Amino acid sequence: MQAFEYARPKSLAAALGLLGSAWGETEILAGGTDLLSLMKNYVVTPKRVVDIKGLELGSAGQDARGGFTIRATTTFDQLLQDKTIHDQFNALAQAAAGVSSPQIRNMGTAGGDLCQRPRCWYYRNGFGLLALDKAGKSLVPGGENKYHAILGNEGPAYFVNPSSLAPALIALGAKVRMTGPQGTREVALSDFFVIPKSETEREHAIRPDEILTEIVIPDTSKGLRSATYEVRQKEALDWPLATASVALKMKGSNVESATIVLGHIAPIPWQAKEASAWLAGKTLSEDSAAKAGEAAVRGAKPLSQNAYKVQLARVAVKRALVAAMRKGV
């Protein structure tokens, strides 16, 4: 990899002082499971790497306002060992459990999972975030696109968001806190992910001089029935082909309100708002779950090789809803 300056600050203030004002100058190192591979392949070539593992950002627990806070460098293993997550946030526990590699569980962090870059093979092989040719036209629609987006793919971005945790956290109404030179700001996680329009943009609302410090699940998520269902090509470590996370507020057997979020099928975690609205007021059953799955993929625009993802996403929604219905958590 290209030579770089390495810094391991002892405080958040010191870390912020080391960040650059533009993307590409500095990268933040947490678990390193994504960044190091990007640097080894010269996809990113920062002048400085700021290691934040020494900061006190690695814990999870109830906060003073009744919500549940996950600090940025909390590992997947720590998430899986947390009793509150298993007892109250079933969708999140299932999403974390989908990362099957012990090495990734011990090194990968919650903040890093949200901020990781696309797994798109065009991007990973140096063709840029949007995979544009010399004429400014995307290579994806006419190329190998079997793992690319079926929703939100009107262009110019065709990659899929790679986060394992984001769909579950968005379904649970989570927010993220980011700290920069002007202080701390809080953004709904549903607004944290953006679809870039140019190669100079990134896929997240974080600024180059900010650090994501906390993820907060609000108190209102307690008591929701939630679940995550993933469709994978293999049980060994791999990224899913499609996922669905759901969170339901129930009144008896009827759905009072629902949030359905799809993963790995769009450049951002995809909120299936039409399906969520349709399900409200309905009795939750396998039939209504199947119909919600149909509504969730309405408007999908598969590319030449990924039409199979429509069925996978449809089934993922149905099975996540059925799991939430049966689990009752």
The last residue of one of the domains, among 181, 200, 220, is: 220
**What integer pLDDT is reported at residue 159 of this predicted model?**
98
Residue type for position 99? V
Q: Rounded to 5 degrees, what are φ and ψ at 4?
A: -150, 160
- Reported as a pLDDT band with limits 50, 70 and 90, residue 329 is very low
In b/e form, how buried is each residue of 250-259, taking b as 16+ CB within 10 angstroms?
beeeebeebb
Q: Are residues 40 and 173 in the same domain?
A: no
Assign 289 a pLDDT band (cuts: 50, 70, 90).
very high
The reply to whether 260 falls in a domain is yes
pLDDT at 155: 82
- Per-residue pLDDT, 223: 83
**Structure confidence at residue 58 (pLDDT):** 63
Task: Kindly state whether residues 93 and 191 are assigned to the same domain.
Answer: yes
Write out the residue range of the structural domain in which residue 268 sits: 224-327
Which tokens is 140 given?
């994806």
Mapped onto helix, strand or coil, the DSSP state of residue 161 is: coil
Report if residue 23 sits inside a domain.
yes
| Residue scoring higher pLDDT (54 or 292) | 292
Q: Is the pLDDT of residue 3 over 70?
A: yes
Residue 113's SS3 state is: helix
Do 10 and 27 have their domain in common?
Answer: yes
Please name every residue paired with 251 in a beta bridge, in sequence order, or none if there are none: 254
In a domain, 126, yes or no: no
One domain for residues 311 and 288? yes
pLDDT for position 101: 87
CATH number at residue 32: 3.30.43.10
Q: Percent of the chain having pLDDT more than 70?
A: 98
| pLDDT tens by residue, 91-127 | 999 999 998 888 889 999 999 999 999 999 999 999 9
CATH of residue 189: 3.30.465.10
pLDDT in tens, 40-80: 999 999 999 999 988 877 667 777 667 899 999 999 999 99
Residues 181 and 109 in one domain: yes
Judged against a pLDDT cut of 70, whether residue 328 lies above it is answered with: no
Q: pLDDT tens for residues 152-187?
A: 999 899 999 999 999 999 999 999 999 999 999 999
Same domain, 191 and 309: no
Q: Is 64 or 294 the better-scoring residue by pLDDT?
A: 294
For residue 307, give every residue at least 6 positions away whose Cβ sits within 8 Å of its Cβ, in sequence order, or none.
Answer: 150
> What is the rounded distance in angstroms from the CA atom of residue 55 to the CA atom of residue 61?
17
Span 199-243, pLDDT tens digits? 999 999 999 999 999 999 998 888 899 999 999 987 777 789 999
Regarding whether 201 and 77 lie in a shared domain, the answer is yes
Residue 152: inside a domain: no
Same domain, 213 and 230: no
pLDDT of residue 64: 60
Q: Which residues contact 208 (CB under 8 A, 6 or more apart)?
A: 19, 20, 21, 22, 23, 25, 26
Determine, yes or no, domain membership for 172.
yes
Contacts by 59-64, CB closer than 8 A, 24 or more apart: 60/84, 60/85, 63/216
Q: Within a domain: residue 130?
A: no
Give me the CATH number covering residue 242. Answer: 3.30.390.50
Q: Is residue 150 assigned to a domain?
A: no
pTM, full prediction: 0.95
Residue where a domain stops, chosen among 196, 220, 244 = 220
| Structural domain count, the chain | 3
Does residue 216 sit in the same domain as residue 86?
Answer: yes
120 domain residue, yes or no: no
- Is the same domain home to 238 and 280? yes
Selection from 214, 224, 225, 229 nearest residue 261 by Cα: 229
State the average pLDDT over residues 307-315: 98
- Summary mean pLDDT of the chain: 93
CA distance 176 to 128: 27
